[in-house]
Amino acid sequence: MSFNRPRLGDSTYSGRPFNPRPATLSPAACHSPMATAPANSVTETQTAEPVPLQPEPIATFPTPPPGSTAVTDRQADLVCLSDIENRPVDWLWQDRLASGTLAMLSGDPGSGKTWVALAIAAALSRGRVPSNRAPFTADTREPDTILYASAGNEAAELVRSRFVKLDGDPARLFLLRGVLSAGSTHSTSLSLRDTPMLEDALERTHARLLIIDPLHSYLWAVDRHRANESGRAFDNLARLAEKHRCCILLVRHLRKRGAGQASIELSSAIRTEFLAGSSPDAPTQPALVQVKSNLGPLAPSLGYTIDQTGGFSWTGPSKLTPEELMTDRPIAAGLPRRKLVAEWLRQNLLEGKCSQYNIEAAAQRDGVCITTLRRAKFDLGVLSTKESVSGSWYWALPKNGHPPNQPQT
């Protein structure tokens, strides 16, 4: 079969590739072996007038009619981006804490994380900017209600006294102590899997800021080494913050964090992250340093001090950078780098085995050299195992807890 290709000079087809299409026959013609073309029809050897190309219609997504076999109880949730209205960021604390997002405050024990979290809460409860005690200007916002979930801090001895020293409004701070069953006066422990309880507390208080301090106390029901478990818990928190237009601030102990999948999933779920602490060169000058922000540029570092009487105060802008705070962060004074890394690895394996991939990812995030990490692995006698032939490698501490190897000189 031959085709009469259009002439290159034809304006209709000029510059367009020619794609032959099979002719469409009627059902009668398909079943009649002796069917002949009408006298005025165009045959293969005749030249037909070119037909202008018509634009193809835009694809749509038809909805199956009720009762159709295609209808199921589940379907894809689709929305066109043009139907979504642009919404500016609603800042609780400009460039630092935003409504509808997850934030994290990390630091070593004794770095003042709880003081920092309560100082932020105290200022917002009075309608003030946390860092300079000045009231919000222009579009002055009303004082915010704070929900504080704390499993390790005594309410009467610690939280109340600190909040009063920080000039916070106690009538706007609600403590989330746990889960209270019907007919009982003693609450049970709360975990991040208890999303209905967290939502109930937010609905009853209308809190704009939820502080969870410390995070590890609420992960007891979550398998931190399973991506589906930890990821689902943090995704639920993110949806909760978005639904109630509040900011959820997670306070995390660095020494007690798990280097498993939970840390990886958490780092991807949060929108802003802070470190509280100091550099090795200036241990008496701590600062709140923002190390991550998906909502805008990093805010300047803010210095703070905690005096001998237990008083907290902001000291103004700090020159401490995220690199200075995150690089070579000492775990114990006077230890060489290899022992520092060995202690880092031991802390990250205390809660059980962890995949080599997650360990090395956490090491890169914390500024730990991979070569030094592998040497420290030898020093600790860390065991490497595989769950299957094609599975991942897992690291675990020796059962007796005593490293059989000694550091090489």
Per-residue pLDDT of the chain (409 residues; tens, 9 = 90+): 545 544 444 444 444 554 545 544 444 444 444 444 444 444 444 555 655 656 555 555 556 566 555 556 889 989 999 988 888 999 999 999 999 999 999 988 788 999 999 999 999 999 999 987 666 554 557 899 999 998 766 776 788 889 999 999 999 999 998 888 887 778 888 888 889 999 999 999 999 999 999 888 888 756 555 555 667 888 899 999 999 999 999 998 875 444 334 455 576 788 999 999 888 777 788 999 998 999 989 999 999 998 877 789 999 999 988 877 765 444 433 345 777 788 888 888 887 888 888 888 888 877 788 888 888 888 888 998 887 777 788 899 887 654 444 443 3
State the first-to-last Cα distance of the chain, in angstroms, to the nearest integer: 83
The Cα–Cα gap between 389 and 182 comes to 50
- DSSP E strands in 190-281: the ranges are 209-213, 247-253, 272-279
Confidence at residue 176, expressed as pLDDT on a 0 to 100 scale: 93
> So what CATH class is 337-396?
mainly alpha
- Residue 196 half-sphere exposure toward CB, CA atoms < 13 A: 2
Q: Which residue has the tokens 């290709």?
A: 5
Confidence at residue 235, expressed as pLDDT on a 0 to 100 scale: 87
Confidence at residue 316, expressed as pLDDT on a 0 to 100 scale: 93
Confidence at residue 62, expressed as pLDDT on a 0 to 100 scale: 59
CB atoms within 10 A of CB 369: 14
Output Rg (C-alpha) for the chain, integer angstroms.
Answer: 32
Contact between 395 and 382 (Cβ < 8 Å): yes
Confidence at residue 259, expressed as pLDDT on a 0 to 100 scale: 38
Domains 91-180+190-326 and 337-396 fall in the same CATH topology: no
The Cα–Cα gap between 28 and 105 comes to 76
Alpha-carbon torsion angle 336, 341, 342, 345, nearest 10: 160
- Backbone dihedral angles phi then psi of residue 165, each to the nearest 5 degrees: -60, -30
Domain boundaries, the chain: 91-180+190-326, 337-396
91-180+190-326 CATH choice from 3.30.450.20, 3.40.50.300, 3.30.70.250, 3.30.70.3270: 3.40.50.300
Contact between 395 and 384 (Cβ < 8 Å): yes
Confidence at residue 404, expressed as pLDDT on a 0 to 100 scale: 44
